[in-house]
Structure 1
Amino acid sequence: MSVPPRPAALLCALTAAAALLPTAAPAAASARATATLAFAACPDSVPAPPAPDRVECGRLTVPLDRKHPSGPRIEIAVSRVPASGTPAERRGILLVNPGGPGGSGLPYAVTKRAKLPASVRRAYDVIGFDPRGVGHSTPVGCGAMGGLFSAPGPDPVPVGPRAERSYLDSQHRLADDCAAGAGTAALPYLSTEQTAYDMDAIRAALGEPRTSFLGVSYGTYLGAAYAAHFPHRVGRMVLDSVVGPWDWYDFDVLQARALLRARDTFFAWTAAHPDRFGLGNSSYAVRRSYLDARQGLAARPVDGFGPAEFDRAVYRALGRTERWTGLADGLRTYLTDRSVAGLRPAAAFDSPESRNYEAANRIVKCADGPGPTPREIVADIRRIRRLDPQPVLTGLEASACAYWHHRPGSRTPLGGPAAPPVLLVASAHDPVTPIEGARRLREVLPGSRLVVLDDDYSHGVFASRGNGCVDGTVAAYLVDGVVPEADTRCAGPGLPTPGKP
C-alpha cells in the first residue's frame, strides 16, 4: 500500500491528483452538474475478492465546501464489487462504511461483502469509499498529535490536579497539531455532513436513483446524516451498532462508562475459568491481577509498552468477546514472565494508516458539533473515576475539541420524519456503541425497527456475529423490503468458551 501523504496543510493538496486511482471525469462548476466514475484497477490496499467476483476502483472530484462548488476540490476514492445475481435480482447499490470516524472504506467493499448473505451479494453492487480525509481521499495528518504516538505514552488516566493539567495540555497540543497539519481553513469541511454530500455525489455519478446503505458504528452516524439531508434518496438503510444522536464528547463519556460494565463482565468470565487463565477464582482476584499488570507497566514499561498502550489493548479487546481469551492470556504472560507479546497488537500504532485514522477521527468529531469545555472534561473524568478508580479512557477522543481552532455553531443534523423506515441493529451489551444509542436514534427515524441480539457483548452484529435470526431479518429487508412489524429480538450466543492456550 502506498503511504498516505502527510501535508503541512491540507489545502495545499486539494487540487493535486491522488496516486494509484483512475481519474473521474472533471465535475462542472455548477452544483447541478454530475460527474461520472471511471473504474479501473485498485490500489494494493484493496484485496481481491474470491473468483468469479471482481473489484474495481475509481475516484470522484467533489467540492471541498458543498456551498461553493466552484471552489477548491478534493478527490474521493471509490471501490465497487458488482452484484453477482441476474439483472432481475439486482436492487441497486449498497454503500458501506466500516466506522471510525477515520475508517477506510475502500477495501471494506470486498471484506464486508464476503460476509454478507448470498441473497444480498446477488442483489447489490457493493460500493466502498474512503471518506474525505481518509486513506486515498485526500488524507489528513496531525503530526505528533500532542504526543499521542509517543511510546511509551504518558498515563492516560490523570489523577490529581497536576496530572489533570498535563492531560488538558496534551489535548491542547493535539488540537494545535491538527490545525497545523490539516490547515485551519480546511477543518470545518472534513465533517460528517460534508461526507454525506459526497455519498450523494457517488450515487449520482453511478447513475442510481437511490442509495441503499450499510453503516457500522460511526457509519450509523453517517447514515443518519445522509437520511437527514437526502431522505428521498434513501433506498434501504441498515445502521448496525448505533452511535446515538449526541454530541461526540457526550457519546465518548457514555462509552467510557459502558466499558467499565464490560470489563466487570470480563473479570467475572475470567474468574469462572481459573484453571485456564490462572488469574484468580473471583472477580476481585482477577481485577487485582489486572491492576497489578497495569501498575507494573506504569512503573516500568516494557519495550515501549506502558499504561497508555495497555489501555489501548484493553479497549480493543473489550469490544469483541472473541478477543477476551487473548487478553486474559496476555495478562497472565506479563505477570509470569514480564512479556507484553500477548498484549501488543500485531499492527504498529504509529503506522501511517493509524496516524491518518487518529487524525481523521479527531478532525471529524470536532467538525461535527460543539466541543466540551476544559472544566467539563475534568469533571467527567473525576465522575468516571468515582465509578472506578482505574477506568479505560482511550475513547475520550473528542476531548481535543475543547481547544479546536474551528468551533462549529451547531451539531450535524441526524434523521428526520421524511426518511423511509430504517433498520437499526444492536448487540444488547455492546460496550463500544451502547444500545441506548439505537433507542435514541430511533426516535428521530419514525417507522424504523430495532433488531437486538440478546445475550451478546460484542461490537458489530449483522454479517459479523453469525446469527441466523439477525442476518435473515436484515437480508429480507435489504432484498425484499420486508420491514418487521415490530422490533425483533434474536437469541444471542452468551459469553464465549475460552480458547485453548
Structure 2
Amino acid sequence: MAAAGVLTLSCTSTAQDRAAAAPAGGSGGLSGAAACPGLDGFSCAMLTVPLAHGGGVPGRLRLKVAMADNTKAPKGVLLFLTGGPGQPGVPFVERMSQRLAPVLKDYRLVMIDQRGTGAGALQCPQLQQEMGSSDLTPPTTRAVTDCAADIGPDRRFYGTGDTVADLELLRRALGVRTMTLDGVSYGTYTAERYALAYPQHVARLVLDSVVPQTGYDPMDRAALRAAPRVLTAACEATGCTTDPAADLAEVVRRYDNGVDVIDALTTWEFVDPDYAAMIGALHTAAGGDPGPLRGLIAGVRQGSAASAEELSQGLHASTLCLDGRYPWGRSDTPVAGRRAALEKAGAELTPADYGPFDAATATGLGSMLGCLHWPRTPVPPLPPEHRRLPGVPVLLLGGDRDLSTPLEWLYDQKKLTPRARVVVVPGAAHSVQSRADGTGRQAVFDFLSER
C-alpha cells in the first residue's frame, strides 16, 4: 500500500511446529541477543510472542529484532515500521540508520520483522509468483485459495491488531515507558493502530506516505481520481507538451485496460516520479499505438518479482483480508454471496468515484480480488475508526506524486490527528524518507529534534 534468520516458516507449518521452535518460558521476552552480523553498533535478538494473543490456541512466534546499542539515548526508542503488509524490518536497518543518522545520537533505532515476514514469512509460491511486490495485480482464484488453505486456520492471527500486540510486547521487553514510532506506508497504519490502542506509550509519530486509520479502500478510488493530477503535475514540471490526463482517459476507454494501467503507474513512481516514459507511452497509445505502453506494463510486471522474504504475499493477503471492509462485508462473510455484492457495488459507482478509469478498474484490482476469493475466516473487532489519535506531536509526510498512498489519504488522516504537522514534498512519490531528496528527511530531522 516491502532479517534474515535461520528458519523460514512455510505455509504448511503448524502452530505446534512454531511452538516447538520457540524457547520455553513466557512470551514477550527478547532472547539470544548478539551483535548483528555485518552491522556495527546494533544487536539482534528474537522476540517471542504468542501466536494467539487472546489465548486458547497453542503456539508462539519468534520475531527478529535489531536494536541500536545506544541504550541510554536521551530521547528513547525510535521504532521504525516498514510497509506492505509483508515487508520485514531488519534487512533495512543499515539503510534507515544512514537515512536517519542526524537524529540517532538522540534516539535508539529499533526495527522488527513483523509476524509473517522475513525469516518467518508466510510462503505461498503461486500467489507470490503472480503478484510479486504489487498490491494491484489481479491474482488467480486458485493462487488465493491455495495460499489460504496452506496457511490454514492460523491465518486469523495475522491481522494488524496482532502486530500491534506484538509491538506492545516489544516495548515491554525493551523496558521503556514510551516509544516514538516512524512508519512508512502500511507502517503508518500500524503506528496509528498502536497509538489508538496504547496512547500512553507513544511519545510522537512520524507518518510517511499515509494510510489513514480508517483503512485501505480496496477499490483504490483516491488513487484512480488522483492519477490525472499526478501525471499533469509531472508533465508540467518536466516541460512535456502532451495532455497526460486526456491521454489516460482515452487509453482506458479505447483498450479497456484500466487495471493494468493503474498497476503500472503505481509501480512506476518507484522508478521515476516524473513518470516520463509512462506519459510518453500513454500519449502514443492514445494515438493508436499501444505497443510501447504494453511493453512498459510487461516490464513492470517482470520487475515487480519479489520473494516472500522480501514481501510476503501470504501475509499481505492474510492481513488485508482480516483488516478490510469490502462490498460484501468482512472475511467472515460467506464466499458464495460476495461476487453479487461486488457487482452491485460496481453498478452503483459513478465517474466521480473513479475519474478517468471505469467501474471495471475499481472492482478488478488485486487488492479486491484477493479477498473476494479468500475463504471465510473469523475476524477480530476493529477499533472505532473515527476516534482521534492521541494528542502527541504527529508529522504527516507525503509526496505530491504518490499514487500508492495519495495525498488525499494524508488529509483524511489529518482530520483525526489533533496535533498534525503536514509536510508535502513537491516532486516526491512514495516513501519520502527513503527515496526523496533532502527536503522530506530534513522535515523529519527537525520534527524529531524538537524538545
- Match among 62, 85, 94 for residue 78 of structure 2: 94
- Match among 207, 212, 234 for residue 202 of structure 2: 234
Taking the aligned partners of 1:196 and 1:108, their CA distance within structure 2 comes to 20
SS in 1 for 2:99: coil
Taking the aligned partners of 2:327 and 2:127, their CA distance within structure 1 comes to 18
Q: Normalized against structure 2, the TM-score is what?
A: 0.77
Task: State the partner residue of 1:273.
Answer: 240
Taking the aligned partners of 1:338 and 1:412, their CA distance within structure 2 comes to 42
CA contact (8 A) 1:249 1:399 kept: no
Aligned-residue offset at 1:354: 7.1
Task: State the partner residue of 2:97.
Answer: 113
| 2:123 equivalent to 1:141 | yes
CA contact (8 A) 1:423 1:451 kept: yes
1:101-160 Cα shifts (integer Å, max 9, x gaps): 111211222212211251x12112211111111112x3213342398359xx9x96xxxx
Task: State the partner residue of 1:38.
Answer: 32
| 2:313 equivalent to 1:362 | no
1:320-360 Cα shifts (integer Å, max 9, x gaps): 7546245468888x978899489625975454337852221
CA contact (8 A) 1:227 1:416 kept: no
Query: CA, structure 1 residues 337+284, in 2 after alignment: closer, same or farther (shift >3 Å)?
Result: closer
RMSD: 4.2
Aligned-residue offset at 1:59: 1.1
SS in 2 for 1:65: coil
Taking the aligned partners of 1:476 and 1:35, their CA distance within structure 2 comes to 33
Aligned-residue offset at 1:240: 1.4
Task: State the partner residue of 2:68.
Answer: 81
Residue segments in structure 2 that go unaligned for 5+ positions in a row: 329-338
Task: State the partner residue of 2:342.
Answer: 377
Task: State the partner residue of 1:493.
Answer: none
Aligned-residue offset at 1:429: 5.1
Q: Normalized against structure 1, the TM-score is what?
A: 0.70
Aligned-residue offset at 1:443: 3.6
Query: CA, structure 1 residues 81+266, in 2 after alignment: closer, same or farther (shift >3 Å)?
Result: same
Which amino acid is the alignment partner of residue 19 of structure 2? T
CA contact (8 A) 1:98 1:215 kept: yes
SS in 2 for 1:180: helix
Aligned-residue offset at 1:480: 3.1
Taking the aligned partners of 2:24 and 2:281, their CA distance within structure 1 comes to 52
Task: State the partner residue of 2:448.
Answer: 478
Higher percent of residues as helix: 2
Number of aligned residues: 424
Larger relative contact order (CA 8 Å, sep ≥ 6):
2
- Report 1:303-318 matches (<5 A): 312-318=263-269
| 2:418 equivalent to 1:450 | no
Whichever of the two has the greater Rg, that structure is 1
SS in 1 for 2:66: strand
Which amino acid is the alignment partner of residue 158 of structure 2? L
Aligned-residue offset at 1:4: 4.3
Residue segments in structure 1 that go unaligned for 5+ positions in a row: 18-22, 157-166, 275-280, 299-306, 482-501
Query: CA, structure 1 residues 146+207, in 2 after alignment: closer, same or farther (shift >3 Å)?
Result: closer
Taking the aligned partners of 1:354 and 1:36, their CA distance within structure 2 comes to 22
| 2:147 equivalent to 1:178 | yes
Taking the aligned partners of 1:463 and 1:179, their CA distance within structure 2 comes to 33
Instruction: Name the % identity.
Output: 22
| 2:22 equivalent to 1:28 | no
Task: State the partner residue of 2:114.
Answer: 131
CA contact (8 A) 1:369 1:410 kept: no
1:408-430 Cα shifts (integer Å, max 9, x gaps): 26434566465533332233453
SS in 2 for 1:388: coil
